[in-house]
Structure 1
Amino acid sequence: MSDSRKGKRPLVADRRYPKKKKTAKPAARKAPAKLRKAPARKPSRNIFVRLFKWILRLVWWITWRVGLTVAAGIALAVGYFWTTLPDVDELLDGRARGSVTLLDGEGNRFAWRGDQFGGVVMASTVSPGLKNAVIAIEDRRFYRHFGVSPRGVASAVRINLREGRGPLQGHGGSTITQQTAKLLCLGVVYDPAEWESEAAYVSDCRRGSLQRKAKEAVYAMAMEAKYSKEEILSIYLNRAYMGAGAYGAEAAAQRYFGKPAATLTPAEGAMLAGLLTAPSRLAPTSNLERSRDRAATVLRLMGEQGYLSRAEVAQWQENPASLSPAARRNAGGYFADWVMSTGPEFFTRNTTEDVIIRTTLDQRLQRAAEDALKQVFETKVREGSKAQAAIVVMSADGAVRAMVGGRETQVAGVFNRAIQAQRQTGSAFKPFVYAAALELGYSPLDFVDDEPLTLDIPGSGRWSPRNYTNTYSGRVTLTKALADSLNIPAVKVSESMGRDLVRRVATDFGIDGAMADGPALALGASESTLLDMTGAYAGILNGGSSVTPYGLIDLRLRGDSEPLMGTGGGIRERVIQEGAAKELIWMMEKVVSEGTGQRAQFGGWQIAGKTGTTQAARDAWFIGFTADYVAGVWMGYDDNTPLTGVTGGGLPTEIWRETMARVHEGMSPRPLPLQVPERAVRQAQTPAQQAPQSRQPEVPRTTEGLIETLLRDILGGGRDR
């Protein structure tokens, strides 16, 4: 029997769904297989990726912690400085020295010295033109930063590198707040015991090291936290140095424009703002054109930043700021310097207070002297000449009304030839020789022989004086000898009176310094200053009393009504009798009307004076007076080079005339207080043919002769003058 199931397929259900092709599976599996093969290269790449990420995480970890630490440190530093900052009111006047304001005889301000501070101003009280100009040129983002401007620093570094400097050299990118911090010296107050000088303290405050800059930035941020923007700007406007000794906007406005800071125009405000970067070099009193150019740049920036319209910029650029009359005269020049030197040092040169000094200056007379000197040198002196001149004008009591110490009149703090130059006086000394003779009873009409003279001088040998003309006039009166400036008669009179007497008379009249020992004393071999010589002539004009030249009337502290001190000059002791002084004036009037000083005449005024020329014409003088004013003029070279073709009766006399003609403008001529000798009066009243033919007395040549003459006069009842 056979198995019936053999060879038959097993019974199974039919597949409802067709079987997927095997080829599709490998394809789907191959892709993952390939992905699984990639890790063969991944280990090396992952190392670098993970390392890079780790480094980034480390840097971030360090950075935010360091940043947090630095921020905390800065915050602590800012907080510390914040606690040390005083109230705003205490920071507005930061001068180490006080100021000196000088007023003329009429009470008008004409000069400033020291650290001038005009008074406190606030950013809200100064003119908008000044406030906006300062912001435009110094810190255009002032109202938008927190005390430090990173953009400004980056810009400054870029400019410095482009111009070949170090990153911190030149432009600093400092904000107004940072500049104010520097003005406050980062809170360090000047202590004389700690610093060698104030200059050393200021130099340290202005250091520009990286460490100093960092501290300055922190201090600035503390200020921003403590004060408002307006308060910071107010401190800056009050403490900033603006040239010519002016600290703060108010002092600068008064110094340059003679007006308050609240009334400045945009052009004036731009000029002040423009000089903040270099106040000494850009000060308008130093170079007005340079200051105006800088102001034009500030005005342009104000227009670009919207503070001024285009039309306003053009208007103010075409009408730049002008200096006040006092500023144009450059702070009083020589006269102010002299007054400062005559007052107490602790109230003038080194004052810590604000001082007001009233002086004797007459600004009209000062301009007259300056204009006269300029006019003569421009028209009478060869171009390129280095010759110098000085002028002093004073009243008969020694009150100095004008002073010019050199040809450059618009200066301050320079060599003053009127008070500092000790020069030989020449024949300008001779009036004191004749003053001694008149005091002893001689008459201007007494005779002396002008003839060759030789004297034996112990230790020096024989000396033979000569007249300037190398001629001799024979028998002449003392008046004629003075009028023609004859040397031999002057020596004879001096030797007869005695040099000690002549020396004493000159010294008592105020001619200071060592006098010559020999007979050349009579010819002006001694040295003196123009101020002393002019003061001595003032003593002759006032009737024979010495004077001490002075320029200071009184001195007081600002705000006080009572002065702390008064004048230290004026009329002093009598030197010669009034009658002798008046006769000497009569003799000196002949110098101008008939003698060597005729070029001094002007406008019908009666004038007395004396010319002077030293050996080799190294010095030339003319000193003279009217009934109202005394004026002295000196001319020469600083290095004692001889003048060419100049004598006292030439250019110095012309300078004197031009000065005094301007001084006396608008005044009516007045006669001099002179006294005509009685003999001259009688001779004028008696016809020449009826005049007695008596021999006129002659000045004796020796002291012994003087004694004999005096005895004869006493026994004979005196001498007729």
Structure 2
Amino acid sequence: MGSTSGRTPLVAERRGAGRAPAGGTTKARTRSAPKTAARTGGGNGGGRGNGGGRSGRGGKPRRGIVSRFFRWIGRLVWGIAWRVTAVVALVLGTVTWYFYTQLPPLSELLDARTRGSVTLLDHEGEVFAWRGETFGGQITATQVSPHLRNAVVATEDRRFYRHFGVSPRGIASAIRINLSEGRGPFEGNGGSTITQQVAKLLCLGVAFDPAQWKSEAEYESDCRRGSMVRKIKEVPYALAMEWKYSKNDILTIYLNRAYLGAGARGFEAAAQRYFGTSANKVDPAQAAMLAGLLVAPSYYAPTRSLERAQGRANVIIGLMQQQGYLTKAEADQARANPARLSEAAEARAGGYFADWVVETTPDFLARDTTEDVIIHTTLDQHLQRAAETALADVFATKVKDGSKAQAAVVVMSADGAVRAMVGGRKTQVAGDFNRATQAMRQTGSAFKPFVYAVALDLGYSPADFVEDAPLTINVRGSGPWSPKNYTNTYRGIVPLTEALKHSLNTAAVRISEAVGRDNVRRVATDFGIDSDLAAGPALALGVSEATLLEMTGAYAGILNGGSAVTPYGVIELRLQGEKKPLFGQGGGIGERVISEQAARLLTYMMSEVINSGTGTRARLPGREAAGKTGTTQAARDAWFVGFTADYVAGVWMGYDDNTPLAGVTGGGLPAEIWREVMIRVHDGLPARPLPMIVPTPRAPPVVNPPPAEAPAAPAREPDLAERILNEVLGTIGGQP
């Protein structure tokens, strides 16, 4: 075979000669191209062929360039994305790790209150009031009632057990809702998981600093702000918590730290506050009501509006049924039997009394306590309700609508143990002005028993006589002073009992002047009237001021036989969990002020005030009682204070701005309030006689000598009372 070098291949030329045959080399294609061109000679066919070849070479590269451009863009985006993702992941991991190292043991996160609470028990040991944020004790997600655990998860985070601490779906949904309702993306619904809410409760690990925040409320409000920066910080903190703690641990923190209204911190405290039971025992209806508080604790608190709280609970019951935590039958049962407040929570009794107890307890054990304190008090909730309902009934039936007149009531035992206290017409309040303990008011004729107490202690008898007639006394620095009776009439020579039961002013002044004002001030002070008593003769008419608590305590001294009492409300105080009290009773019977005989005689005189004197409207059916009315100048204050063998009660009525009472005296509405209070207080108690001495009646003294024509009366040595009376008549110019 001959050599083929330099020959033209024996194959047909392909269209598009620019393409090399398969297996050919670049060099061969380069050499053949000119020969092909020479052969075709640029004719029409060759021209078309050439043209077709250039078109093919031009289209494919353009498509290749676009494809390569998009591939380049993709590689660029991917390169940036994975680098950014890596940086974000690195930063997120670093911050998460940092938060993880800062998280304390679980036990340190369950109660982070900087202050303690005060729980008040009545005299039978039942809880009736709380002060401060109470913490009912540590509970766990595994020990708490399953209904409560399910209610919280169904309400706050139904995917709680499935997510890793953050729910992108929930956040996106919250942003959509907020924007659709015209709010900012992070205003309103936050889409937070329970883990994120716990992160907020922990303030992302920032501890409360009094130098930075004025109060814990301001601190918590700042921690709950829904800003973008706060949301971003929540993510690594929530991840760190999921890394550090189990799901049940996180839920345990939530159950212990959430605020649930009415001063209850945590679900155990709330269950005890509202239902009088443990969070371990709540039923579905109670659990739903508690879980419903999370969205707005104060607004949905059942102590504020039970109907509103029950309506919110029905929504939660529906969620529990929808998510399979309750069957239809269980949900219907819960709706048909909604949760109700415990008796103590519903009554909200003794708000004024609780305030008084806390105010009279050292601050470091009450208002500023860092411990949880239990105070066992003297309050009797039956008597408290009796006082509240009696006051409300009288105002509802005998006071015109719209009246702004106020009233206060105190009920105590003879030893000074306060059993009930009403500091104003709004009874279910706390922190309000307490007119029983804080209002200093003139006492009027309710002060007169102390004048007669001095006289009886000096040897007077209720059967002795005193003159009720016009009287003028020159007061040093003030000039003449002439007291007048309320009726502007005078009775002449009357027994002391009659002078007191008809509240005769001139007679009381004469007795006060006879026994000495200093003695009257001393006895009143020793009985517990702690104010600066007047120095002039008007002292006897009650121009000095006192609180209702002081006056009631002073009358208790008369009932107990003449010994002073210090009104008290605390039986003992102890720290929660401790058996030994820090201190015990804070008051009671003190030193003797007047003799027991004088006290028993005075009790008789005061019983006549109710039997046939100014206080007849206070008379109790089938029960002995003693008391005294009091009305101040221009009727700015009206009083009735009195007692039975069992209890002492005081009533004050007036206006906070000292406006005169229209047509009201101590023997009117205050006496009726006192009567209604005491009828309820003594319900079910057997009637007991008053501890009193009834004096032997005496003949009126002979002040003027008999006429000359009358036979001379046999000579008689005047008794002590007559000698004092004659001295007074001669000293101050009284006329028989």
Give the TM-score of the pair, scaled to structure 2. 0.87
* Equivalent runs, 1:589-668 vs 2, <5 Å: 589-668=607-686
Alignment of 1:444-455 (within 5 A): 444-455=462-473
Tell me the SS of whatever aligns to 2:265.
coil
Q: What corresponds to 1:97 in structure 2?
A: 115
Cα displacement string for residues 402-434 of structure 1 (whole angstroms, at most 9, x for unaligned residues): 111111211222211111111111111111111
1:408 partner letter: K
Matched, 1:556 2:549: no
2:552 partner amino acid: T
User: Contact between 1:139 and 1:175, CA under 8 Å: does it hold in 2?
Assistant: yes
Cα 1:361–1:682, aligned 2, differ >3 Å: closer, same or farther?
A: farther
The answer to whether 1:456 aligns with 2:477 is no
TM-fit CA distance, 1:56: 4.5
1:221 has 2:242 as partner: no
Residue 519 of structure 2 corresponds to residue 498 of structure 1: no
The 2-side partners of 1:303 and 1:414 are apart by 43
Deviations 1:3-50 (A, max 9, x none): xxxxxxxxxxxx9x9xx9x999877765444334558xx87x988876
Contact 1:495 1:703 in 2 (8 A): no
Range 695-704 or range 473-482, more displaced: 695-704
- Aligned to 1:261, the other structure's residue is in SS state coil
Deviates more, 1:337-346 or 1:605-614: 337-346
How far did residue 177 of structure 1 move? 0.7
Partner of 2:191: helix, strand, or coil?
Answer: coil
Please tell me whether the aligned partners of residues 533 and 632 of structure 1 are also in contact (alpha carbons under 8 angstroms): yes
1:291 to 289, 309, 312: 309
| Unpaired segments ≥5 residues, structure 2 | 1-9, 16-42, 702-712
8 Å CA contact 2:260, 2:301 repeated in 1: yes
State the match for 2:55 in structure 1: 34
Q: Matched residue of 1:565: which SS?
A: coil
**Aligned Cα root-mean-square deviation (Å):** 2.9
Instruction: Tell me, in whole angstroms, the C-alpha distance in 1 between the residues paired with 2:66 and 2:583.
Output: 89
C-alpha displacement of 1:54: 4.4
Q: Which amino acid aligns with 1:104?
A: D
Conservation of the 8 A alpha-carbon contact between 1:447 and 1:699 = no
User: What are the superposed Cα offsets for residues 628-669 of structure 1, whole Å, 9 maximum, x if unpaired?
Assistant: 110111111212222222111111111111111111111111
> Is residue 496–residue 699 contact of structure 1 (8 Å, CA) maintained in 2?
no
Q: Does 1:61 align with 2:79?
A: yes
Assess if the C-alpha contact under 8 Å between 2:651 and 2:670 holds in 1: yes
- Trace 1:235-254 onto structure 2 (pairs within 5 A): 235-254=253-272
1:430 to 1:305, Cα distance in 2 relative to 1, 3 A: same
1:487 Cα offset (Å):
1.4
Report the equivalent of 1:582.
600
Residue by residue over 1:479-534, the C-alpha shift from the partner in whole angstroms, topping out at 9 and shown as x without a partner, is: 11110111121122222222222111111110111212332221111111111110
Partner Cα separation in structure 2 for residue 470 and residue 399 of structure 1 = 40
Task: Tell me the residue number matched to 2:456.
Answer: 438
Question: 1:114–1:703: structure 2 CA closer, same or farther, 3 Å change rule?
Answer: farther
Deviation at 1:671, TM superposition (A): 0.9
Deviation at 1:457, TM superposition (A): 2.6
3-state SS of paired residue (1:112): strand
Q: Which residue of 1 aligns with 2:689?
A: 671
Q: Sort the Cα spacing of 1:196 and 1:385 in 2 relative to 1 into closer, same or farther, 3 A.
A: closer
Given the alignment of the two structures, is residue 202 of structure 1 paired with residue 202 of structure 2, yes or no? no
> Retained in 1: the 8 A contact 2:350–2:384?
no
Give yes or no for contact 1:326–1:332 (8 Å, CA) kept in 2.
no
- Would the aligned equivalents of 1:101 and 1:357 in 2 still touch at CA under 8 Å? yes
State the distance in 1 between where 2:50 and 2:349 align: 103
Is 1:527 aligned to 2:548, yes or no? no
| Inter-CA distance 150–679: structure 2 relative to 1 (3 Å threshold) | same
Counterpart CA distance in 2 for 1:275 and 1:84 is 31
Give SS of 2:474's match: strand
- Percent of aligned pairs sharing the same letter: 66
Q: Is the 8 A contact 1:592 1:600 kept in 2?
A: yes
- Tell me by how many angstroms 1:705 deviates: 7.1
Corresponding residue for residue 330 of structure 1: 348
The equivalent residue for 1:305 is 323
| Corresponding position of 2:186 | 168
SS class of match (1:286): coil
> How far, CA to CA, are the matches of 1:251 and 1:404 in structure 2?
27
Letter in 2 for 1:501: N
Distance 1:49 1:493 in 2: 121
Partner of 1:517: 535
1:572-626 Cα shifts (integer Å, max 9, x gaps):
1111111111111111011011101111122311100001111121111111001
Q: Structure 2 CA distance, aligned partners of 1:573 and 1:361?
A: 24
Aligned to 1:6: none
The residue aligned with 1:5 is: none
- The one-letter code sitting in structure 1 at the alignment partner of 2:492 is G
Corresponding residue for residue 704 of structure 2: none
After superposition, residues 354-393 of structure 1 pair within 5 angstroms as 354-393=372-411
Q: Find the aligned partners of 2:303 and 2:327 in 1 and give their Cα distance.
A: 29
In structure 1, distance between residues paired with 2:242 and 2:352: 46
Shift of 1:674: 0.8
Match of 2:428, SS? coil
Distance 1:214 1:702 in 2: 94
Which residue does 1:115 correspond to in 2?
A: 133
One-letter code aligned to 2:354: A
For residues 584 and 706 of structure 1, the distance between their equivalents in structure 2, rounded to whole angstroms, comes to 27
Give 1:61 deviation, angstroms: 2.0
**TM-score of the superposed pair, with normalisation by structure 1:** 0.89
Equivalent positions of 1:69-108 (< 5 A) are 69-108=87-126
Q: 1:485 to 1:48 in 2, by over 3 A?
A: farther
Residue pair 2:463, 2:696 contacting (<8 A) in 1 also? no
Cα 1:545–1:522 shift into 2, 3 Å: same
TM-superposed deviation, 1:462: 3.0
SS at structure 1 position matched to 2:243: helix
1:298-317 CA distances to partner (integer Å, 9 max, x unpaired)? Answer: 12222222222334333322
Looking at structure 2, the residues matched to 339 and 154 of structure 1 have their Cα atoms a distance apart, in angstroms, of 52
Aligned residue-pair number: 681
Q: Which moved more, 1:379-388 or 1:419-428?
A: 379-388
Measure, in 2, the Cα distance between the counterparts of 1:129 and 1:681. Answer: 82
Q: Is 1:508 matched up with 2:526?
A: yes
> 1:448–1:699: 8 Å Cα contact kept in structure 2?
no
Among 344, 362, 366, which residue is 2:362 paired with? 344
> CA contact under 8 A between 2:464 and 2:698: conserved in structure 1?
no
User: 1:226 and 1:446, CA in 2 relative to 1: closer, same or farther beyond 3 A?
Assistant: same
Of the three residues 493, 499, 503, the one matched with 1:485 is 503
Q: Name the amino acid aligned to 2:503.
A: S
- Tell me what 2:434 maps to: 416
Helix, strand or coil at the partner of 2:493: strand
Question: Whole-Å Cα distance in 1 between the matches of residues 726 and 320 of structure 2?
Answer: 84
The structure-2 alpha-carbon separation of the partners of 1:326 and 1:320, relative to structure 1 and needing over 3 Å to count, comes to same
Contact 1:446-1:699 within 8 A present in 2 as well: no
* 1:217–1:435 CA distance, 2 compared to 1 (3 A): same
Q: Which whole-Å CA distance do the structure 2 matches of 1:624 and 1:29 have between them?
A: 131
Structure 1 residues 536 and 148 mapped into 2: Cα distance closer, same or farther (>3 Å)? same
1:438-497 deviation per Cα after TM superposition (whole angstroms, max 9, x unaligned) = 122222122222122233333333332221112222221111111011112112222222
d(CA) in 2 for partners of 1:195 and 1:408? 33
